[in-house]
Structure 1
Amino acid sequence: MPEYFKLEEYDLFMLAAGVIALLAAIVPVIMQKKIISAPIVYMLVGIAAYFILLHYFFQPMQYMEIIKRITEFVVIVALTNAGLKIKEPFKWQTWKSSFRLLAITMPITIVAAAYLGWWIAGLAPATALLFGALIAPTDPVLAGELQTSQPSEADTSKIRLGLTSEAGLNDGLAFPFTYFAIMAAQYGTQYENWIGDWLLHHVLFKIGIALIIGLISGWGLFKIVFNIAHHDMLSKISRGILSLSLTLLPYALTEIAGGYGFIAVFVAACMFSRYEKFDEHMDSLHDFNEELESMVVALIFLATGIFIASHYYILLNPSIIIVALVMILIVRPVAGYASLAGMRLNRFQKFVLSFYGIRGIGSVYYLAYALTSATFEDAEKLFDITIATIFFSVLIHGLTAHMVQKRIEKYE
């Protein structure tokens, strides 16, 4: 008798990939003007999939290396998108508000998160430092809902510009603090023994290398594409292949040279997109990156929904809930609002810039990176707190972003 039905892991994988691709294609379009954001829908689908189909205990700690690589890719794609959106990347006006968010809000958030993780959640000192580093940056993927418009569209919104430029850089700037936590886990809290090496190598050298390679690679790619190719040839250049080269080349070159690839990717995209006469081609690159990004976002938040469903008890843990909600509702908003004091912004602008420090895929990447680089005490508890914070951030920020979008033009 022939076998008409047979289950193989590969076929199930292909089926799951097809379903995820379908969701990534239709959910963002359907939810575009709805109160509920696409990541919320993906998490709900993941929760439903767990209870209806899966019924197994999902253990992501066993797959940290895979999680690191997937989240790494989606973050660099999102950073390229953020860089392409910024109209005048080398003017001080572009960075006035985001500079304060990066220089003041981010360090305050790191310290506050580390203290809360140690005091309330009981994390070991090095692990608490890691929580501060990974939860501080605004996510360039989820913050896309409130980011500035695509390259060819004029957008004078200080809110959108501030959130875009902040999200573009702070994912890379979280790396030195992540290394600080890694070195604390490896060498102990006798900071005087290694803090000099950290400052020289992981702060000054790596950031400097990233800025130099980002500027040179972005300039070089622009010259290759727009100066060598004739104007009538530009439309024939594959937007997908070009977009991938703009994302992968600066990242790979910088990582090989020992710098921070996240910073280089964003800087290269800013350098590449600074000429307005090629906006239509920048739009094409931006659109491809958004399609690529939406596919991986769907995968990650479906997995997040499955994890939440199989580990529902973390949402019943008072210490985890307190830390997550205090970070989202108090620490970032208060630190952000205080850092913007004295700027020519109205209260609404200050509120949105300070409140929408969205936590997401970047935090998962830093968590996976650190846990595959060193041994941390309370690693599973740290994972639970991180996922809970992202879960509440996606819900709170996702459910209110649409309302804020409608008011931005009215109050700016």
Structure 2
Amino acid sequence: MTINGDGLYLVAGLALLLGAVLPRLLARYAVSAPIAFLGVGMLLGLAVDRSRLSPIAEPGITKHLAELTVIVALMGVGLAIDRPISLLNWSVTWRLLFIAMPAGVAALTGAGWLLGIAPATALLLAAILAPTDPVLASDVQVEGPATGEDAELDEEDEVRFALTSEAGLNDGMAAPLVYLAVFIATKSFSPVHWAAWDLVGKTVIGVAVGFGAGWLLGRMTFAAPARSLRLAESREPVLALAMTLGVYGLTQVLHGYGFIAVFVAALTLRSAERRHEFHAELHDFIGELEHILTWMVLLLLGVAVTAGLLGPLTMSGVAIGVLLVVVVRPLLGWLALARCELSRAERWATAAFGVRGVSSVFYLAATGAHFREDLPWLWATLGFTVILSVVLHGIAATPVMRFLERRG
């Protein structure tokens, strides 16, 4: 039986109801909600018209849905972090970003080349799988901003902080590597242009727009001259969504990296006035929106799997996915965190929980047109890797974090 257009409203309603109930039902078990949503999506794929629900058939819809989900999640994680950004306080984050991530891309590219994959395709796959996900990693991230009297306390769990801050920044920092793969594939690579513009220029624009917009909105929200003009007094949490879309759109118009800008803007707004309870209201609103978008992405991914997304998967694709999730990220993360203040257990947990997900879907949907011959295989490998990551990390997250909390 195939569900028609009217029946989709029923499916959407049931999916949202499921999304509201599942996290509570699974809270005590080693099964995360993303695993359940993937499973439901696969079952749903048996009852709906799958021809128009493929990321290959609808790359534009896939790109924009994943894009919106990621920027909403980036605003959420930026608002959730209490720790002011600095070289010293974020030292674990910098190690993961500037050592583990580039080394992981190089290792995965080399592995792909040894498996017989074209260099540009291997680099693209390694680059789109490089960012850890701010969307699907909620079980191992900080829970939300501390406000009121609690805002003075610096008790953020180091593992949760490291994974949250890393996921907030590496979505945008993977972009230069993705563009590098595209330039090589299209034979338009210029080392000077790529280094000056795609690596440095767009990053600077993203940071500048994010900081400027966050500072301005922070003043408008908490420090406007007249109390009636302060946005915090309106108690309208939709400001978080307006800021997300506005900052991202402005940065993209200026040809900067919007993912970086949104996260930096959220951090800057958070630092404008840490004790105000409006921060929690903004975070709660954006969190609910993020959950809805995440459910949609996971359901559609499950439908796509039922429709044959994994059909072109080869042993080389399986090998790359397993290497990334089980070997490359944990090993390189462990090495990058050498001689830091984390305990041995915390170091392993931080290295292992590099969840892959929606940001990778966005990058492949945005650049896949340049790799038409390999596109089905790329989607199959990406789908396999995301599912493997969601399942393994989803099962391990609850017991591992409880173990660390008991030891802490």
Is the TM-score greater than 0.5? Answer: yes
Tell me: CA distance 1:230–1:304, structure 2 relative to 1, closer, same or farther (3 Å). same
Q: 1:40 aligns with which of 29, 32, 35?
A: 35
Tell me: CA distance 1:34–1:236, structure 2 relative to 1, closer, same or farther (3 Å). farther
Q: 1:392 aligns with which of 375, 388, 393?
A: 388
- Aligned partners of 2:54 and 2:76: how far apart in 1? 32
Q: Is the 8 A contact 2:309 2:383 kept in 1?
A: no
The CA deviation at 1:275 is: 4.3
The CA deviation at 1:62 is: 1.0
For the pair 1:289 / 2:283, whether they are aligned, the reply is: no
The CA deviation at 1:276 is: 5.1
- Aligned Cα root-mean-square deviation (Å): 2.1
Once the two structures are superposed, what CA deviation does each residue of 1:146-165 show, in whole Å capped at 9, x if it has no partner?
Answer: 11131116533111111111
Aligned residue for 1:139? 133
Tell me: CA distance 1:201–1:173, structure 2 relative to 1, closer, same or farther (3 Å). same
Taking structure 1 as the reference length, the TM-score comes to: 0.91
Aligned residue for 2:317? 320
Aligned residue for 1:4? none
Secondary structure in 2 aligned to 1:273?
helix
Q: 1:117 aligns with which of 102, 112, 118?
A: 112
- Aligned partners of 1:83 and 1:90: how far apart in 2? 11
Aligned residue for 1:197? 193
Q: Which segments of 5 or more consecutive residues in structure 2 lack a partner in the other structure?
A: none
For residue 186 of structure 1, what is the amino acid of its counterpart?
T
Aligned residue for 1:211? 207
- Aligned partners of 1:28 and 1:407: how far apart in 2? 20
Once the two structures are superposed, what CA deviation does each residue of 1:109-149 show, in whole Å capped at 9, x if it has no partner?
Answer: 111222233332x4322111110111011101112211113
- Aligned partners of 1:316 and 1:84: how far apart in 2? 38
Q: 2:120 aligns with which of 112, 120, 126?
A: 126
**Of 80-89 and 286-295, the range deviating more from structure 2:** 80-89
Q: Is the 8 A contact 2:4 2:48 kept in 1?
A: no
Aligned residue for 2:347? 350
**Of 226-235 and 291-300, the range deviating more from structure 2:** 226-235
**Of 20-29 and 351-360, the range deviating more from structure 2:** 20-29
For residue 62 of structure 1, what is the amino acid of its counterpart?
A
Aligned residue for 2:359? 362
Q: Is the 8 A contact 1:37 1:398 kept in 2?
A: yes
Once the two structures are superposed, what CA deviation does each residue of 1:57-94 show, in whole Å capped at 9, x if it has no partner?
Answer: 66320111110000000100111111111112323343
- Aligned partners of 1:256 and 1:401: how far apart in 2? 38
The CA deviation at 1:217 is: 0.1
Identity of aligned residues (%): 35
- Aligned partners of 2:393 and 2:236: how far apart in 1? 35
**Of 179-188 and 322-331, the range deviating more from structure 2:** 179-188
The aligned runs of 1:323-342 (5 Å cut-off) are 323-342=320-339
Q: Is the 8 A contact 2:313 2:377 kept in 1?
A: no
For the pair 1:163 / 2:163, whether they are aligned, the reply is: yes
For the pair 1:222 / 2:218, whether they are aligned, the reply is: yes
The aligned runs of 1:53-132 (5 Å cut-off) are 53-54=47-48, 56=50, 59-120=54-115, 122-132=116-126
- Aligned partners of 1:315 and 1:337: how far apart in 2? 33
The CA deviation at 1:313 is: 5.5
Tell me: CA distance 1:233–1:141, structure 2 relative to 1, closer, same or farther (3 Å). closer
- Aligned partners of 2:361 and 2:302: how far apart in 1? 14
- Aligned partners of 2:299 and 2:81: how far apart in 1? 30
The CA deviation at 1:319 is: 2.7
Tell me: CA distance 1:38–1:164, structure 2 relative to 1, closer, same or farther (3 Å). same
For the pair 1:187 / 2:183, whether they are aligned, the reply is: no
Tell me: CA distance 1:182–1:317, structure 2 relative to 1, closer, same or farther (3 Å). closer
The CA deviation at 1:230 is: 2.3
Q: Which segments of 5 or more consecutive residues in structure 1 lack a partner in the other structure?
A: 1-6
Once the two structures are superposed, what CA deviation does each residue of 1:349-394 show, in whole Å capped at 9, x if it has no partner?
Answer: 110110001100011011111124x344311101100110000000
- Aligned partners of 1:347 and 1:371: how far apart in 2? 40
Q: Is the 8 A contact 1:83 1:266 kept in 2?
A: yes
- Aligned partners of 2:247 and 2:394: how far apart in 1? 31
Tell me: CA distance 1:33–1:404, structure 2 relative to 1, closer, same or farther (3 Å). same
For the pair 1:253 / 2:247, whether they are aligned, the reply is: no
Tell me: CA distance 1:256–1:110, structure 2 relative to 1, closer, same or farther (3 Å). same
For residue 42 of structure 1, what is the amino acid of its counterpart?
F
Tell me: CA distance 1:254–1:316, structure 2 relative to 1, closer, same or farther (3 Å). closer
Taking structure 2 as the reference length, the TM-score comes to: 0.91
- Aligned partners of 1:321 and 1:375: how far apart in 2? 19
Q: Is the 8 A contact 1:324 1:389 kept in 2?
A: yes
